[in-house]
Structure formats: structure tokens, C-alpha cells
Structure 1
Amino acid sequence: MKHPSGYALIRRHLRRYPHTLRQHLLQELNRLVTYEPVIGIMGKTGVGKSSLCNALFRSEVCAVNAVEACTRQPQRVRLRFGNHFLTLVDLPGVGESVTRDGEYRELYRDLMPQLDMVLWVLKADDRAYAVEEQFYQDVFAQFSGPIPPVLWVLNQVDKTEPAEQWRWLSAQPSALQAERIAQKQQAVARQLQIAEQDILPVSVRGRYRLSRLVEAMITRLPKQARSPLVPHLQNGYRTEAVISTASSSFGDAVVEVIDKVIDLAPLPLVARSALHAVTHTVARAARSLWGFFFG
């Protein structure tokens, strides 16, 4: 196990727990620390999926070449940073023939439970999103199980007309572009029948609002997937806000794990409530040791 110092400090806080319980808790804690988030990336070819991933993450995400577009299996890319792994799944389907819908429904039925989040990349200068709408209604909206959170990424907003007005130095749209980007956001929300705040306008080339996207990801990911994502982020996106959300979620996840383990243990009621009382000290310790595990 890496980070002996972090685990040793946690172990010290677990002294009051019975030995078998302590071992179980350390196992569960290790599972939280080594959790591997799985993020699905969707969008038609040419919407800038690879460049978006390369802008967000430290490891190079190689482009999935055009030849593979005809294979209907999702392409998986596993990123590694230190002891932490992150899997990106390039999801097929959008913009292909309608005849394959049944096939994709099957594929997504199997995949959906494995995904912690979907980033659905749209091109800001596309005229319409009929294909995405159809696919979302057919495959996602019809899905019977729980759906992972979907963030819609409106990419390449620097191309919004009048494109020549983009302010490269300050990495900002002009007033007119900003107005049109907002209109586009509203139009997409209406067409796809999704919440406007789930649509995030970004530009990789224009270095625009990528940190907003990262903050949205950290907020919307399931608790256990937040912290393990952080080591993979490019330096600039590991902001105070991101780290604070991640570390407090880690504390919460630790509380949930401890409570679950205590409740399942064959303990007398008095012992159980005494242990529950210590839980929050352990969670506090976990929060303060966040940097040991994910820093």
C-alpha cells in the first residue's frame, strides 16, 4: 500500500474499534482511495472529444482514429497517475444509422451501471441537434435503470459568430458572442428537454470555462468518484473549490463506510452507539489526510 503515513494516521484513529472491524474498515478505506472512476465520452466525430480530454487530464488521451469508428465497441482508455487510475470510455452510436438503435440499446444497458458520469460533447456551431435528441430519447430516456449524471459540453464556442470577435488574450467571447452562446444554451436545453445548467459552454482553443466544467464534474460525480478524479486533472483545475468539494465528499464517504461496517457487525447496542460516536473524528481525520491519499 502506498502512503503508509496516511494509513498509519487513520489506523491510530481506529484504535478504539475491535480488531476485525478495524481490518474491515481499512480494506473499505483502501477501496475508496483506489476507486477508479469511469467516465463515458459521447458525441459525433469531430466535436473535439480527444482535445477536450487532453485539455482536462494530465495523461495524453490518444485520438480514436476514424478507422475504428466502424467498430461498434466502446473504446476504453485507461489513464494512470501514480497509484490512481481513471477510465475514459469513448461511447459509440451518436450520429450513426438509426438501424443500429436496438444494438446500442443493448450495449448501453450493459454499460450504464459501470459509468460514473457521461460527458456528452456537442459542437457549438452545429445548426441542429436532431441526432443527439433522437439518441438521447431512444437510448437514455428509455433506460430503465439509474442513469449516470450527464453533462452536456457545448464545445468550440470560440467559433460562435462573429468568430473574429473572440478575445484571445483575455480568453473571453465578445458581448455579441456571449449573447449568442447564451441563446444557443437555451435552444439546446429546449430541444433536448434538459436543464440549462447541465449545458456547459467551453472552448479548448480559447481556454474558456474549462475550470467551470471541472467544478461541475466534481459536484455531479458520485461521492466515491470525486477524489480519485483529482490527481488526473491538469494543475490549473485542481483549484481550492475542487479540492474542498472532493475532500469533504471523501469524509462523507468514509462516514458512510464506517456506519455500514458498524451496523453489519455483530455488536451489542452499547458498543455500536459508542463506535458511531467516534465515526466523525475518523471522518475529520480522513478529510485532513486527503492530501496524503490524493494530493
Structure 2
Amino acid sequence: MKKPSGYALIRRHLRRYPRSLRQHLIKELNQLVMYEPVIGIMGKTGVGKSSLCNALFRSEICAVNAVEACTRQPQRVRLRFGNHYLTLVDLPGVGESQARDGEYSELYRELLPQLDMVLWVLKADDRAYAVEEQFYQDVFAQYCGPLPPVLWVLNQVDKTEPAEQWNWPSAQPSALQAERITQKVQVVARQLKITEAGILPVSVRGRYHLSRLVEAMITRLPKQARSPLVPHLQTGYRTEAVISTASSSFGDAVVNVIDQIIDLAPLPQMARSALQAVTHTVARAARSLWGFFFS
């Protein structure tokens, strides 16, 4: 016997709604399920953007040119897993030249409204981040519209001196390295004028703190983008905590959609109140059916 789909099960919980509203809700629910997150990946050439994406996501990301920043245009990579899509936008690296940075400033301002999140990748063994600081202040801090969340990824922390002390079997820094990584985070936070909590030290090669990065992404992404990201993650990062956050956010997004539709519908106040009373029942159903849509 064929199992009912997630949509068939959710329809059972929408039986109290007028047919026109029910159809509208199913349409909006489908848009939530099929939402395509767009994540911008920033950072100078050689910071490890491609290797980071390959470590996080199931689909292989083509390596970028490690010798020269050969493009002035963002490179879009569209990933597919089942019926779900994810777009990664590899943004041109800042700091290649002053002339290009001026061009990129305008390009980034045009792109920011399209992005759900920015992963800004830095190299842990760089000595200074003056270029990133200037660009962040000129473009992001001065931007007038709503900004996408920015996660600062301090990559390649396994190279922190003394690099030979990195514990490869346990994927952990030595005590001295850990102390210096903390100091580096503090330095970056001061220089970029951001909070230390917004900087995530990771190592792809050292398999260090990638799960924390994924959890931060799921927490900071807009609610509608969280669940559609999960199918694209490598198996090890689809943890109970990540799925719990995503499914809860999916339920919240469903509530928002229902409330908006009810508010706009030409209904008597009594009918409106009755429908609002069962909204959270539908939201609970959406959370429980999360696996039908995103597993």
C-alpha cells in the first residue's frame, strides 16, 4: 500500500479551512518546501572556499583558480539533491587590486538583496585583514537595506603555530595552538569591529569545528532557508540539533504563512478566530511531517 505524501497528510489538518484558503495554503506550503537558499561565499583567492564547500555539501564544487582572480563576475553553482536546490555564489575576491575593489563594491550592493547568507572566509595564518576591514565598512556597514547575515569563517587554523602540534587523530589543536587561535579570533574581531561570537575558527583538512559552522548557518539563516539547506549537507552534519532547529523553524514559517493568509482573507471575525485557534495544530503537524519534505 502506497504511503500518503507529506502534502496529503497536511491536507488532513487543513480540513477546517475553506477550500479557497486550503488551496492557497498548499501553494504557499509548496513554496516553503521548494525554497532555494542562496549563499554567497566571499574571501580572497587561496583562502579555501572550494574545499570548505566540498566539505560541507554533498555535491562536488569545482575548484576556483588558485593562481589568479580571473573573473570580475560572481560564479553561480546550483546544487541539486532530490527535488531541492541550493545556489552558491562564489563572489570575486576583494583585495586583488584597488581598481577592481571599486567595481566589486557596486556589484556586491546589487547582489546583497539576493543572498540569504554570506560566508566570508579568512585565512588563519594571514597577518592582517585591512582589505577585508575596509571593504566591509565601505559596502556592508554602509548598506541601506536589510543585510543578509554574515558568518566570518577563520579557515585553516591547523596552520596555527606551532603547526606541528596539531593532533590529527583527534582533530584538535594542542593547548598552545588553541590559546593562539583564541587570540587570533580576538584580533580579527577588533580589526573588523565585529563580535568574537560571529567568527568561527575551522579547519577542513583538520576536520575541526565544521559541525559548529553548520549549526551556526542553520541558526542564522532566514527561517524559510533553513530546512531546504539540510538535504544538501554531508551526512555527518545532518545532526539531531540541526534537524531540530530546521523542523522547528519550518513550523514557525508555516504559522507565519497561515496567519498572513487568514489576515488577508475576507472572513467574519468569528471564523477568523476559529481558524487562528487551529493554526498551531497545523504547525505541529508540519514539524512532525518535516521528514516527508526534507529527508
- Quickly name the TM-score band, shorter chain normalised: over 0.9
Match of 1:55 in 2: 55
> What are structure 1's unaligned runs of at least 5 residues?
none
Q: Is the 8 A contact 2:69 2:93 kept in 1?
A: no
The answer to whether the 8 A contact 1:251-1:284 is kept is yes
The one-letter code sitting in structure 2 at the alignment partner of 1:80 is R
Aligned twin of 2:10: 10
Q: After superposition, what is the alpha-carbon deviation per residue over 1:15-71, rounded to whole angstroms, capped at 9, x for unaligned? A: 110011001000000000000000000000000000000000000011123588332
Aligned length: 293
Whether the 8 Å contact between 1:104 and 1:139 is mirrored in structure 2 is: no
The amino acid that maps onto 1:96 is E
Q: Secondary structure at the match of 1:126?
A: coil
Task: Mark the CA change 1:168 to 1:95 in structure 2 (over 3 Å): closer, same or farther.
Answer: same
Amino acid corresponding to residue 215 of structure 1 in structure 2: E
The answer as to 2:292 corresponding to 1:292 is yes
Q: Given the two structures, how large is their TM-score scaled by the length of structure 1?
A: 0.97
Q: Over residues 166-200 of structure 1, what are the superposed CA-to-partner deviations in whole Å (9 max), with x where a residue is unaligned?
A: 00000000000000000000000000000101100
State the distance in 2 between where 1:195 and 1:70 align.
Answer: 33
Q: 1:4 to 1:83 in 2, by over 3 A?
A: farther
Q: Is the 8 A contact 1:41 1:89 kept in 2?
A: yes
Please state whether the residue corresponding to 2:153 is helix, strand or coil. Answer: strand
- Secondary structure of residue in 2 paired with 1:120: strand
Residue in 1 aligned with 2:95?
95
Instruction: Please give the residue correspondences for 1:1-295 in structure 2 after superposition, counting only pairs within 5 Å.
Output: 5-65=5-65, 69-295=69-295
Map Cα deviations across residues 247-275 of structure 1 (whole Å, 9 max, x no partner): 00000000000000111111111101100
Out of 128-137 and 92-101, give the one that drifted further.
Answer: 92-101
Q: Give me the CA root mean square deviation.
A: 1.2
Deviation at 1:116, TM superposition (A): 0.3
CA distance in 2, matches of 1:115, 1:4: 35
- Verify the 8 A CA contact 1:129 1:188 in the aligned structure 2: yes
Asked if structure 1 preserves the Cα contact closer than 8 Å seen for 2:46 and 2:66, the reply is: no
Give structure 2 stretches of 5+ with no counterpart: none
Secondary structure (helix, strand or coil) at the match of 1:292 reads helix
- Offset of residue 109 of structure 1: 1.8
Q: Equivalent residue of 1:230, what SS?
A: helix
Q: What TM-score do the two structures reach when normalised by structure 2?
A: 0.97
8 Å contact 1:64–1:75 — kept in the other structure? no
CA contact (8 A) 1:25 1:258 kept: yes
Whole-angstrom distance in 1 between the partners of 2:62 and 2:131 = 26
